[in-house]
Amino acid sequence: MKVTLSFETTTSEDVSIIVDALRASSTMTLALDKFEKIIPCFSAKEALKIKDETGGVLAGERKGKKIDGFDIGNSPTDIEELKTCEKTLILTTTNGTRILENMNSTVLVGCLINAKAVGSASATIAQNHIDVVMAGVKGQFALEDFLSSGEILYWICQNLDDYEINDLAKAAIIASRDYNSLKAGFYNSRTGKRLSSLGYKKDINLCCKKNISENVAIYKNQELKLI
Ligand code: 3SL
């Protein structure tokens, strides 16, 4: 099995795991405790149109802040605190939903909170190549995605007998082994600092919890559901 770490676009036609740890992947992962499906949208306009047509809870951010008129932000804490009978979450985020586009493979959603579960699921379904894809922020490397990818890659390797892994993936595993420095990396990352200044420290606290969820989302037919 080939195991790689990439940035923004996948190099695999087999299985890709997209990682936007702060916060889209974490929101998606925890949302599947409450919702049967998530419809990721690339624009707020499209999200509003879907809500009008099918109903559901509207979630999303621009520049980190909840979009005016939406029910909640792109916030895993908002999701956890939400009380709803709706079965669909309609979600639009700056990077995390955009990165789902153009993936010519099976796509899973990974973050620190489901690293072990997504690592194991990918090793079960992949035939020849698992690519962990860091979303980054507007074309730039994001430390929290690198560290979360390292934890995911660690669990992928734990679940495989025989694999070939690229050096970037090896570096991510090494960087993610010490949990205290990983957590410090989340808070000191560019996104971590931005979210703290916007008052979302609770989201960072939640997103840097390791392996607290068994949920693994798969993207199929423009929807995210539990695998
Ligand atoms: O861009 C995204 O998908 C978001 O995760 C960014 S933010 O954390 O909501 O600011």
Q: If you average pLDDT over residues 84-105, what whole number do you get?
A: 92
Q: Ligand 1: which residue has its CA nearest to atom 7?
A: 64
Q: If you average pLDDT over residues 109-128, what whole number do you get?
A: 98
Q: Do 24 and 38 contact (CB within 8 A), yes or no? A: no
Taking the centre of ligand 1 as the mean of its atom positions, its distance from the CA of residue 96, in whole angstroms, is 6
Q: What is the pLDDT, as a whole number, of residue 103?
A: 85
What six digits make up the tokens of 213? 């969820």
How many CB atoms neighbour CB 170 within 10 A? 15
Q: Do 8 and 91 contact (CB within 8 A), yes or no? A: no
Q: If you average pLDDT over residues 20-46, what whole number do you get?
A: 97
Tell me what the pLDDT averaged over the chain comes to: 97
Q: If you average pLDDT over residues 24-32, what whole number do you get?
A: 98
pLDDT tops 90 at residue 6: yes
Q: If you average pLDDT over residues 75-101, what whole number do you get?
A: 95
Taking the centre of ligand 1 as the mean of its atom positions, its distance from the CA of residue 62, in whole angstroms, is 8
**25 residue type, one letter:** S
Taking the centre of ligand 1 as the mean of its atom positions, its distance from the CA of residue 175, in whole angstroms, is 23
Kindly provide the residue ranges of all beta strands, DSSP E only, lying in 23-157, ordered along the sequence: 37-41, 57-62, 65-66, 88-92, 106-110, 129-134
Q: Is the dihedral of CA 176, 180, 181, 184 positive or negative?
A: positive
Among 8, 18, 19, 20, residue to substitute to test ligand 1 (most atoms within 8 Å of Cβ): 20
**130 residue type, one letter:** I
Atom of ligand 1 nearest to the CA of 203: 8
Q: How far apart are the first and last CA of the chain?
A: 21
**160 residue type, one letter:** L
* Pocket around ligand 1 at a 6 A CB cut-off: 20, 22-24, 61, 64, 74, 93-96, 191, 195
Among 8, 23, 65, 186, residue to substitute to test ligand 1 (most atoms within 8 Å of Cβ): 23
Q: If you average pLDDT over residues 64-86, what whole number do you get?
A: 97
Q: Which domains does the chain have, with CATH numbers?
A: 2-222 (3.90.1560.10)
Q: What is the pLDDT, as a whole number, of residue 85?
A: 97
pLDDT in tens, 127-168: 999 999 999 999 999 999 999 999 999 999 999 999 999 999
pLDDT tops 80 at residue 30: yes
Taking the centre of ligand 1 as the mean of its atom positions, its distance from the CA of residue 185, in whole angstroms, is 17
Q: If you average pLDDT over residues 31-47, what whole number do you get?
A: 97
Helix (H), strand (E) at residue 81: helix 76-81
Taking the centre of ligand 1 as the mean of its atom positions, its distance from the CA of residue 83, in whole angstroms, is 22
pLDDT class for 42, splitting at 50, 70, 90?
Answer: very high
pLDDT tops 90 at residue 198: yes
Q: What is the DSSP-derived secondary structure letter of residue 57?
A: E
Taking the centre of ligand 1 as the mean of its atom positions, its distance from the CA of residue 208, in whole angstroms, is 15
Q: What is the pLDDT, as a whole number, of residue 91?
A: 98
Q: Ligand 1: which residue has its CA nearest to atom 10?
A: 64
